[in-house]
Amino acid sequence: MIVTVTLNTALDITYRVPALVPHASHRVEEVVERPGGKGVNVARVLAALGHEAVVTGFAGGPSGEVLRARLAGLAPRDELVPVQGDTRRTIAVVDAASGDTTQLNEPGPLVSPAEWEAFLAVYGRLLADADAVALCGSLPPGLPVGAYAQLVRLARTAQVPVLLDTSGEPLRRGIAARPDLVKPNLDELAQLTGSREPLRAARDARRRGARTVVASLGADGLLAASSEGLWQAAPPAAVRGNPTGAGDSAVAGLLSGLVEGLDWPQRLTRAVALSAATVLAPAAGEFDREAYEKMLGSVRVSEHAH
């Protein structure tokens, strides 16, 4: 069982318009509504890959009710903790002419100390049966900035491999708790380390506590730095579409590969193929399976010298 934690879940709404023009009125051609938040997307992809996945975190208010109703029809198990506040919505506006996406993210509900304690009880129960855990996304208002660091330490005490995918100060605090894997993008890695050179920044992040760093390089794929070696994996060509959730699919690829005992080149190949296939899908948490299977044979993996 793989547990994904989304402390700031979201109801994801995707609008598709012919062309996005500032200061203009738009006719929406298509609306897609999905349960969202990074860990929810990860769990949906894991379930599609055949893994038992459990979603936990917080959900509340009318948006939270819709999110849980949408999640009920999907494979991941719902272990979300109720809160008084209203689950946020995220709006993605896809420009059909350019293929670009504009994202609008609400902040999320205010979480009380009692609600945080209720979550910790659920998290501890799930860790007892977990093969791996992913801690994903932003922190909602009310939680301590060291919340992820606390969850990393609890997973390590339970001897459960833990992946951290967040940014800013929560990443800085969390990485000091020594997670098994962190997956920042280049901007997040630069903010953490002060360097925009991917290899140097990844090595610096390892010195700060992460056992392995897998950095998202956008169209250039993924860079992995671990005690076992250094690798870069890239898709055969740039893919145009909706990038929302592509990084979450990469996390699902890395976690599923870990649980299945794949080596790093195989894990990275799966992660890059899933990420690219997600760009081609209509919404986050989904991937184009035919494109994914084709991509598996064409992802380029190269090993760097230490």
Q: Cβ(134)–Cβ(5) under 8 Å?
A: yes
CA-CA-CA-CA torsion for 168, 169, 172, 176, nearest 10 degrees?
-150
Helix, coil or strand: residue 13: strand
* Strands (E) located in 97-235: 101-105, 132-136, 162-165, 181-182, 212-216, 222-226, 229-234
Taking each helix axis from N to C end, the angle separating 113-127 and 147-157, rounded to the nearest 10 degrees, works out to 30
| Active-site residue, selected from the candidate residues 86, 165, 248, 288 | 248
Strand ranges of the sheet holding 30-36, from the earlier edge strand across to the other edge: 30-36, 10-17, 88-95, 101-105
Q: Cβ(50)–Cβ(82) under 8 Å?
A: no
Q: How far apart are alpha carbons 92 and 245 in whole angstroms? A: 11
- Which residues neighbour 65 within 8 Å (Cβ) at sequence distance 6 or greater? 59
DSSP letter for each residue of 80-113? EEE-SSPPEEEEEEEETTT--EEEEE---PPPPH
Q: How far apart are alpha carbons 81 and 125 in whole angstroms? A: 13
**Phi, psi at 12, each rounded to 5°:** -85, 125
Q: Cβ(172)–Cβ(192) under 8 Å?
A: yes
Q: Exposure string (b/e) for 113-124, b if CB count within 10 Å is 16 or more? A: eebbebbeebbe
Helix, coil or strand: residue 253: helix
Q: Which amino acid is at 118?
A: A
Q: Is residue 131 annotated as part of the catalytic site, yes or no?
A: no
Residue numbers annotated as active site: 248
